[in-house]
């Protein structure tokens, strides 16, 4: 255990496998007590067993992040078992609605939106009141580079992740106005080999509508978990509200924070033609 975050309580959603499991393990290595959250009991048990075998402390809570009652109960359970929550990592995600918008199953399309956006919203809403009381806390929303482009035939996922960037931006500004001491970031992990991305490559819909993804190099979770730990440490609190990708040099960004703020960098913005010269 390296101890960068010793004594902090972290909640990681979607922690049963993939990026979420890697984040839960790494935060435990950094000294956190970790609450692993997902819908599948068996997968969560494995995550907790891995953490405890390495000497960490972890619990798991089975919960559907799209259900407000389940999310509230999850937060109350974590607070009762571990203590006040210092870190929330909104990682739970879904990407099953693939294909043209006019052919999309409305329920599948909306489930992607609900998991990726509503889930993060509900978890933020549940943990922030206690963070406000304590005047401390950090939230990391796992977003995607798909938020930055139109992503044809992948509209639900890209729309939800673009909305997650705006949610991050709005929340960061609200917390700043409240002088709350709570920071929030959006992070892109890049293309990582997970069960979700494997579906994009191997499913009939993925092969038909997203064949270009098969040629995108897949990385490991190493860079995104290290980025998450860096943000959780407080070293980049001045970047609250920004969208940070794994290739970005965070410490250099910190040095140029005034320029970033003035020019609205690392955030969703509408770019327009320059205003004509006025007399």
Q: What is the CATH number of the domain that holds 29?
A: 3.40.50.720
pLDDT mean by block of 10 residues, the chain; 279 residues? 84 97 98 97 97 98 98 98 98 96 97 98 98 97 91 95 97 95 96 85 91 85 96 97 97 97 93 75
Residue 278's pLDDT is 58
**Residue 168: inside a domain:** yes
Its pTM stands at: 0.94
Matching residue, tokens 């995104």: 224
**Residue 154: inside a domain:** yes
**Residue 55: inside a domain:** yes
Residue 1's pLDDT is 43
**Residue 269: inside a domain:** no
- 57-62, strands of its sheet edge to edge: 57-62, 33-38, 9-13, 87-90, 137-142, 182-188, 243-245
Q: What's the CA dihedral at 213, 215, 221, 227 to 10 degrees?
A: -80
**Residue 215: inside a domain:** no
Residue 2's pLDDT is 57
**Residue 121: inside a domain:** yes
Domain span at residue 47 reads 9-195+221-263
Matching residue, tokens 């999309």: 104
List active site positions: 157
The count of structural domains within the chain is: 1
Residue 279's pLDDT is 53
Tokens of 165: 């960037």
């Amino acid at each position: 255990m390296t101890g960068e975050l010793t004594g902090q309580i972290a909640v990681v959603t979607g922690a049963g496998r993939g990026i979420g499991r890697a984040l839960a393990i790494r935060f435990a290595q950094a000294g956190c007590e970790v609450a692993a959250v997902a819908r599948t009991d068996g997968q969560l048990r494995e995550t907790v067993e891995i953490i405890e075998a390495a000497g960490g402390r972890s619990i798991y809570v089975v919960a559907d992040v799209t259900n407000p009652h389940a999310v509230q109960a999850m937060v109350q359970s974590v607070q009762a078992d571990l203590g006040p929550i210092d870190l929330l990592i909104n990682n739970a995600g879904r990407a099953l609605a693939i294909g043209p918008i006019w052919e999309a199953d409305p329920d599948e399309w909306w489930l992607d939106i609900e998991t990726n956006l509503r889930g993060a919203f509900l978890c933020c809403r549940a943990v922030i009141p206690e963070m406000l009381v304590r005047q401390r806390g950090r939230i990391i929303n796992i977003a995607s580079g798909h938020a930055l482009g139109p992503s044809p035939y992948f509209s639900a996922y890209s729309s939800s992740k673009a909305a997650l960037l705006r949610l991050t931006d709005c929340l960061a500004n609200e917390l700043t106005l409240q002088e709350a001491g709570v920071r929030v970031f959006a992070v892109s992990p890049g293309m990582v080999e997970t069960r979700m991305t494997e579906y994009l490559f191997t499913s009939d819909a993925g092969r038909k509508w997203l064949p270009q993804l098969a040629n995108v190099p897949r990385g490991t979770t190493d860079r995104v978990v290290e980025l998450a730990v860096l943000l959780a440490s407080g070293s980049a609190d001045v970047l609250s509200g920004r969208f940070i990708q794994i290739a970005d040099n965070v410490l250099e960004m910190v040095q140029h924070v005034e320029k970033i703020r003035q020019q609205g960098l690392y955030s969703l913005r509408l770019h327009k033609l320059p205003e004509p010269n006025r007399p």
